[in-house]
Structure 1
Amino acid sequence: MVAAADKGKRSKVEDGVESSDPVDGELVLAIEKLQEVQDELEKISEEASDKVLEVEQKYSEIRKPIYSKRNEIIQSIPDFWLTAFLSHPALSDLLNKEDEKILKHLVSLDVDHSDVKAGYSITFNFSPNPYFEDTKLTKSFSYSDEGTTSVTGTTIKWKEGMNIANGVAHEKKGKKRPIAEQRLVSILDFFSWFGETQDKSPSSMIFDEVAEIIKEDLWPNPLKYFNNEADEDDFEEDEEDDEDDDEEDEEKGSDEDEDDEGGSG
C-alpha cells in the first residue's frame, strides 16, 4: 500500500501537479539532473565515435600505398591467394575443387575503405581464365544512417558451359564447420557469394560472414595463412560452443519427451 501511494505521488509530480511532499520534488530534480549528465555523456560518446572514424579514415589512406606495394610482391608468388584461402580454417571449408581451379587465376585481392563510415568493398582481380569473362569481381557493403546495410555484387559473366555458381550442392572437403551457419545440408558454390545481395536465406548469412572474415582476418595479414601459421583455436572454440548448444537442445528435447510419456501414463 505504501509503495502504491509513493508511486501515485511520483506520477502526480511527473504530470506537472505540485506535490506537498518536498522529498518527491527533490527526487524529480535529481532525476532531471541525472538525465542532463547522461545527455552530456552521450554527446561525448558520439564525438568520440566521430573522432575514431576520422583516425580510421586517416590511416586507411596511409595504408593504401603499402597495400599496393604488397600486391605487387604477391603477384610474383605463384598461387599465393589460393594457398592463403586453402590454409584459412574457415574459408577453406567453403571451397570445392572447381573453386580452387578458379582461385589459381586470382592475382590480387583488395579491400577498399575509402569511406569507413559509408561501408567497404571487396574486389577479386583475375588473370584471363577459361571460366568467366570478368577480370574483376566486386562485393560492396554500404551502411545507411538508419543502420541498414545495402549489398551489391558483380553478376559473373560465365563462359559457355562454365557456370558453376548455379546453386548445385557439393560436398565440402573440410572436417570441421568453424562457422555456425555452415550447418546446411549442402553448401553453395563459393562464387555464388558475389551474387548474394538482399537474400536473407541461411546461405546469405554465411556469405556475409565470409566478407567479415576476408576484411578483418585474411586481408590484414594473408602471409600468416600462406605460411600456414594461423592459430585455429579461436575457430575451434566457436565450433565447440555451437556443438555444446546443440547437445543442450537435444537433452532438453529428450527430457520433454520423457515428461510427456510420464504424463500420458
Structure 2
Amino acid sequence: MADTIEESNISYEELMDLENDFEDVEVEIIRKQYEMSKALYAKRAELVSQIKAFWPLVFEAAPMDIDEYIQPSDSALLLSSLKSLSVTRFELDEDPVKGDPRSIAIRFEFDDNDHFEDKVLEKKFWWRAGKDGFRGYVSEPVEIRWKPGKDLTDGLLSLAKAVYDEQKGKPRPAGKDKKQEKEPLTDKQKALKEKIDQTGMGGVSFFAWFGYIGEYITAEESREALAEEAEERRKRKAGEAVPKKDDEDEDMEDAEDSDDEDDDDDLDIFPAGDAVAMAIADDLWPGAIKYFVQAQEQDILSEIDEELDDEDDDEEEEEDQEEAPKRKKQKA
C-alpha cells in the first residue's frame, strides 16, 4: 500500500500552494491570450455578421453540456431571433494589469421576437473567493422584459431577481457562524422554493440561466480572502509559521453536513449556471466556426436522408404499380 501524506514530510498546504502556483500560470495565459486574440475575434464578428443564421446554427450544434439545457421552446426562439453572441473578459477591459481574466460577460443580441422586449441580454460572472474557502463564479440575476403570457421561465426568473434584491447587502455568515441556527425563509424565498419544487429542474428553460447567482460574495470579501491566502502562501514559502484558524478543524469535520444543508436550502433556479457559462466562454465562443460548419453538415445530411427516403417511397410505389396487374391476373 502506498504511503499516505501523513507518513511523509510533505503537508497538504505545500501541495495546495503548488497547485495554486499552477493556477496562477493558467490565469496569466488567459490574460495574454485574450489580448492577442482580440483582433481575430473582431475580424470574425465582421465576417459572420454577413451570415444571418450563423449564431442560431452554432447553438443548434452546441455541445451536450449546453444543449441539454435548451428546451424545444428555447431552441425555437434562438433559431428565429438570435442575432449575435459575444464573450468578453470585462475586468481585463477595465484594468489589463489587475483585472481577473476569469471574470466573463456573455452578451446575446436578438431581433424582434414574440417573447420579450429586450434587444440585448448580458450576464456577467465574477470570479471571486470567499473566506470560507469558496472559489468560483458569482453572478446577479438579469431581468428579462417578457411580453404578456410569453415568459419561458414561468415566473422563476422574476422571483429569483426579487429574492436576490432582498438578500443583497446582507452580511454572509462564515466559519462558526454557519453553524448557528439558520434564519427562516422570507415570503419571497418560500415562493421561489415552492416554484422550483413545482417546476422540477428537468423542465427549466435555458433562459432561467440568466437568474443564476451562485454565492453571495462581495468584491470586498473576495479581495480580503485572496489577500489572506497570498500572505499565508508567502509565509509558508519563507518558512514562517502560519497559525491555524480556530474553526478550521471543525469546518472540515462538518463539511459534508454543511454541504447537505446548503443543498436542501438551495434557491438557485439554475444551479449549473457557472458550468454553462464556462462551456460558452471556453468552448462554444472560441469554437463557433467549427460548430457552424458541423450544423451545415448536419443540415446537408438531413437533406440527403430526406431525398433517399423520397426515392425509396417512389420505388415502393413503382413496385406496387407493377405488382397490381400481376395480382389481378392471378385472381382471374
TM-score (norm: length of structure 1) = 0.57
Counterpart of 1:79, as a letter, is: A
> Alpha-carbon deviation of 1:124?
0.9
Residue 159 of structure 1 aligns to a residue in which SS? Answer: coil
Residue 131 of structure 1 aligns to a residue in which SS? Answer: coil
1:159 aligns with 2:147: yes
Aligned to 2:205: 189
1:87 aligns with 2:75: no
Aligned to 1:237: none
Aligned to 1:56: 30
Pairing of 1:204-223 with structure 2 (within 5 A): 204-223=270-289
Between the aligned partners of 1:98 and 1:142, the Cα distance in structure 2 is 26
Q: Contact (CA 8 Å) 2:100, 2:127: kept in 1 or not?
A: no
Counterpart of 1:151, as a letter, is: S
Aligned to 2:161: none
- Cα 1:66/1:200, change in 2 over 3 Å: farther
Aligned length: 183
Q: Which has the higher contact order (CA 8 A, sep 6+)?
A: 2
- Cα 1:53/1:161, change in 2 over 3 Å: same
Question: For each residue in 1:4-59, what CA deviation from the matched residue of structure 2 results, as whole angstroms up to 9, or x when unmatched?
Answer: xxxxxxxxxxxxxxxxxxxxxxxxxxx9xx569x9888767655543442332122
Between the aligned partners of 1:46 and 1:214, the Cα distance in structure 2 is 25
Between the aligned partners of 2:129 and 2:74, the Cα distance in structure 1 is 40
Between the aligned partners of 2:62 and 2:204, the Cα distance in structure 1 is 18
Match of 2:128 among 126, 140, 144: 144
> Alpha-carbon deviation of 1:101?
2.6
Between the aligned partners of 2:23 and 2:129, the Cα distance in structure 1 is 14
Match of 2:39 among 53, 65, 74: 65
| Seq. identity, % | 29
Aligned to 2:291: 225
TM-score (norm: length of structure 2) = 0.46
> Alpha-carbon deviation of 1:217?
1.4
Over the residues paired in the alignment, what is the CA RMSD in angstroms? 3.4
Counterpart of 1:152, as a letter, is: E
Deviating 4+ runs (over 3 angstroms): 38-52, 115-118, 198-203
Q: Contact (CA 8 Å) 1:111, 1:219: kept in 2 or not?
A: yes
Counterpart of 2:202, as a letter, is: S
Between the aligned partners of 1:142 and 1:50, the Cα distance in structure 2 is 17
Q: Which runs of 5+ in 1 are unaligned?
A: 1-30, 169-183, 231-265
1:105 aligns with 2:105: no
- Cα 1:190/1:145, change in 2 over 3 Å: closer
Between the aligned partners of 2:56 and 2:155, the Cα distance in structure 1 is 22
